[in-house]
Amino acid sequence: MRKKLVSLLLGIGFFLMVYLSPTCQASSLLFEAKVIPPANQEDKTLPYFDLKVTPSQSQRIEVLLTNFSSTDIQVSSQVFSAETSPSGNIVYGSHQKSVAAKGETPDIRELVSIEEDSLVIPKHSQKKLKVAVQIPAEKFEGMVLGSLFMKQLDLTEKQVATSQTQLVTHQFGYNLGLVLREDTTPVVSELVLDQAQFSSTKQALEVTMTNPKSKVMKTSQTDYKLFKEDEITEEPLVSYQAGQIAFAPNSTYTGQIPLKENLTPGKYHLVAEVKEGEHIWKFDKEFQVVKEKVAASPKKIVNKLAKKNPTPSKLLGNGLISLLLGLCGIFLGIYSYYWLKYGRKGGRSR
């Protein structure tokens, strides 16, 4: 029953990822990518790879690429690892996993490689994308989860413009899920609250949690309560309830608790209660908010700059004043000279 539930969740997730995501709009795609189920595919009706593997196993799997257009197209492919997004969903990307999240489980990018990461598919033709899978000798528990991402490279200017008007955030592509597992023994859930820290720029509390186990874990609810250490009361400063979070295997999640106002400097405690089925985790994470340096006001900065770097008009004004003072000095000098020379003589002739 548990296996069917996990398969159902993965199936729904991959369906939404492949067919409904903005990276894959059927009206814009010029090609199609389909799984060719190998002999060790657990369920051959699934639209993604779900492979039962053994230690030290070497295997080649294939994806059928079909070009529906009347021109040749170039398709680039790469292997993505499963991650947990800030919105609490399983996504696929190329970020490196943290040591704490990865644990002893291999990353799918260490086990899977694409033989030709760029293929040219002739018009109205098909080609097979060949992918090598190498399972390590050491047995691993649970599942290794990722995807094969294929996108078209040689888009025309018209197609690029169309994608921009449709708000497509990536080039046209397919994400085909890839699951590797050696057995179906249930893996016991585990959750770690790594960090809580205040972000003044976002006016929010950032919370980081890690699923260190090789399983898809879906929490039903998370309750947060925030207390200040020197003001311990029954009523918390902040109470916040988060919804479901779908953790990818061996992944880290960073979410936010919105705040109505910024926190004052001091020590705080974040008390969290996370529920996943019968499991309940309780955490008490201490963190500190330090006083930030107050930046100089823009007006003061402008005044300082003005003193160091006078404007052209100010330089011109200073120059005119200096010129006038110089002329006055010359005039007074000439006047004094003539007065001393002729004025004194006139006084003696009387």
Q: pLDDT tens across 159-183, in order?
A: 444 444 443 334 568 999 999 999 9
pLDDT at 173: 82
Taking CA atoms, 307 is separated from 277, 298, 303, in Å, by 67, 14, 6
Burial class (CB within 10 angstroms; exposed 0-12, middle 13-18, buried 19+) of 37: middle
SS3 of 135-152: the string is CCCCCCCCEEEEEEEEEE
The model's pLDDT over 206-262, given as tens digits with 9 standing for 90+, comes to 999 999 999 999 999 999 999 998 776 678 999 999 999 999 999 999 999 999 999
If you search the block for the tokens 């609490």, which residue do you land on? 88
Using the predicted structure, report yes or no on whether residue 308 has a pLDDT greater than 70.
no
Q: pLDDT band for 326, please (50, 70, 90 cuts).
A: low
Beta strand 192-199 with 279-289: parallel, antiparallel or unpaired?
Answer: unpaired
The model's pLDDT over 48-98, given as tens digits with 9 standing for 90+, comes to 999 999 999 999 999 999 999 999 999 999 999 999 999 999 999 877 776
- DSSP string computed for 176-243: EEEEEES--PPPPP--EEEEEEEETTTTEEEEEEEE-SSS-EEE-EEEEEEEEGGG--SS-SEEEEE-
Query: Would you say 101 and 195 are in contact if contact means Cβ atoms under 8 Å apart?
Result: no
